[in-house]
Homo-oligomer: A and B are copies of this chain.
Amino acid sequence: MMKSKKRVDIIKINNGVKQEVTDEIIVEKVLNVYINKNYYSSLMYTPNEKIELALGHLFSQGIIQSMESVKRAVETSENIVCVILDYDLEEDLDERRVLTSGCAKGSIDMRILEDKDMKPVENNKQYSAQDILLLMREFNQKSELFKETGGVHSCAICSSKDILCFSEDIGRHNALDKVIGKALRNNIALEDKLLLATGRISSDIAIKAARAGIPIIVSHSAPTDMALDLARKSNITMVGFARGNRMSIYCGSDRIIV
């Protein structure tokens, strides 16, 4: 397994005093994703959970809808994951992409934004605000460790009481794709789960969640207006600034019981 941290010699300056020390920095690698032996895309990422990342990425990009169409996903070398589908890809995937504000996987298919038929989330199960804050507390503790080495983002998929999948990455999008990939691989239905995120919720994150049918997004930070519009259209509950005993509900408050 590749390491996600690395030791380097650095010079620290503190109040004008120089000191040579050894410090840990975060490792960034390229992952090349192939579909049916054809090159699809390259991602800069924190080197763990490669297969989950590749699967989640393809799911978020709308290439796969479930694991049913995936014959197998294999790591063919240290920096290549090859996903074999049970059908040929016909359309030109390079066609039109929009570069997004988000970290890693900064490219989403522009057509998603224009897709009027994007299905709203149907599940209207309710969740207690207190449970959400407890989950967020556990999530923050899990995230703390890695954050210290230089700011990675974390995402989690949760039931109302438990964190089921947790991932971290230098990129916000990678962290989300990794947990989605994990849920796919483990056959965890997303339609009644919560998504927890350390980072800002921009439109591309909201689109990924909508595509996955996740009914609630809870962030430590804030959504953008476009993400909020998308959440409203997709019947997603958007919660921001979930910290300590507080949270801000931006839309879909019917799902939250106080």
User: Which of A104-112, A135-143, A158-166 participates in binding chain B?
Assistant: A104-112
Chain B residues, CB < 8 A from A107: 97, 99, 106-107
Q: How many copies does the complex hold?
A: 2
Range for the number of chain A residues in contact with chain B: 35 or more
Chain B residues, CB < 8 A from A248: 10-13, 23
CB distance from A198 to the nearest CB of B (A): 10
One of B42, B99, B150 near A110 (C-beta < 8 A): B42
CB distance from A95 to the nearest CB of B (A): 9
Bound: A198/B23 CA distance, A:
20
**How would residues 15 to 43 of chain A score, 1 for a CB under 8 Å from any chain B CB and 0 otherwise?**
11110000101111110000000000111
- A residues lining the B interface (CB < 8 Å): 6, 8, 10-18, 23, 25-30, 41-45, 94, 97-107, 110, 113, 129-130, 149-151, 169-174, 199-200, 202-204, 221-228, 240, 245-250, 253, 256, 258
